[in-house]
Amino acid sequence: MNASDLKLWVIVPCYNEEAVLPITAPLFLTELQKMITEGKISAESLILFVNDGSKDSTWDIICDLSRQDEHYLGISQSRNRGHQNALLAGMMEAKDRCDITITIDCDGQDDISAMERMVDEYSKGSDIVYGVRSRRDTDTWFKRTTAQSFYKLMNKMGVEMVYDHADYRLVSARVLQHFADYQEVNIFLRGMFPLVGFKSTCVYYERSERMAGESHYPLGKMLAFAVEGITSLSIKPLTLIVVIGLITCLLGFVGIIWAIVEVILKNAIAGWASTVCIILFLGGVQLLSIGVIGEYIGKIYMETKHRPRYIISERTWKD
């Protein structure tokens, strides 16, 4: 295939982005037109905005953009279903209509010019190109520490991920065709694409501050995201429960032997402190274990329902 025939769809998830979308949309279009002019992609390449049930004027802005330039397209979900499902909706919409997709957030933090290097790596034979942050100098100490801890924790839990990669990536259409076979409801894309396989590489870039608006990922949401990733892709927490249970049983067995010996030697002293400590410790371990098991049972419950992961209610074009 000639480079000029390579059709690219840039997929941009949007949730309440009325402040930043008018700023970043022209930047996406400028980068797209630059690659078209250089003959790296087809003139039929497009930018697809995915409205994730926004409550502000985001969808109206997307509709206006699509009327202004034919390179802008938009789809709207029937309600807010989360960032990962918005990305999935865009990729599944694009997989039969293009050769490659690039997913990128609309806040302008990811270096838009890195898209050209991603296309170059695809032309060299890579089906997946991960956008990876080269450094975190602009982050606060807290944000940098929590982010590093997140990736290390995911790795320890057995989740295969590219370090410092979020969801800025190029994926070929043939990878997406196979990825469509992954039907689970609980999705964690940055941990799922390595499972698909195919040749991959990384493109490094510097991440800047958000151009406008507020972040939709506070600490609480990031923690929930980490739990979602671990429990969706790893059973190591269940293994840890088994290990903790075994250690607790061994300690209990030692305690029983100690208590019997103390009774035989007539050194036993009636007291409530040790009893309370043991009860609280065992109760805490049991409640934690039940909670982890419950998280997995909840996911099994959701998977068995086979509910749709997204519903597209509107498009800016007619099929």
Block mean pLDDT (10 aa), the chain, length 319 = 79 90 91 90 92 90 91 90 88 90 87 90 91 72 69 71 81 90 80 84 78 56 64 67 69 64 62 60 70 71 71 82
Report helix, strand or coil for 45.
coil
Q: The dihedral of CA 172, 304, 161, 312: what is its sign?
A: positive
Residue 124: which residues within 8 A CB-CB, separation 6 or more? none
The residue written with tokens 């270096």 in the block is 111
The helix (run of H) or strand (run of E) holding residue 18 is none
pLDDT at 26: 92
R_g (Cα) of the chain, nearest Å: 25
pLDDT at 5: 80
Distance of CA 289 to the CA centre of its chain: 25
pLDDT at 249: 64
Contact 241, 285 (CB under 8 A): no
CATH number reported for the structural domain that contains residue 45 in this entry: 3.90.550.10
Report the C-alpha gap between 49 and 105 in whole angstroms: 10
> Around 119, how many Cα atoms within 13 Å sit in the side-chain half-sphere?
29
Domain annotation covers residue 182 = yes
> Whole-structure pTM over 0.75, yes or no?
no
Domain annotation covers residue 30 = yes
Segments forming the whole domain that contains residue 57: 3-234+307-315
Residue 304: which residues within 8 A CB-CB, separation 6 or more? none
The residue written with tokens 């990878």 in the block is 175
Residue 93: which residues within 8 A CB-CB, separation 6 or more? 48, 75, 312
DSSP string, 195-252: HH-S-EEEEEE-----SSS--S--HHHHHHHHHHHHHHH--HHHHHHHHHHHHHHHHH
Domain annotation covers residue 266 = no
Domain annotation covers residue 207 = yes
First-residue to last-residue Cα distance in the chain: 26
pLDDT at 170: 95
pLDDT at 12: 93
Number of domains within the chain: 1
DSSP string, 68-82: H-TTEEEEEESS---
Q: Counting beta carbons within 10 angstroms of the beta carbon of residue 191, is it exposed (0 to 12), middle (13 to 18) or buried (19 or more)?
A: buried
Report the C-alpha gap between 236 and 195 in whole angstroms: 17
φ/ψ of 314, rounded to 5, equals -145, 150
> Around 72, how many Cα atoms within 13 Å sit in the side-chain half-sphere?
21
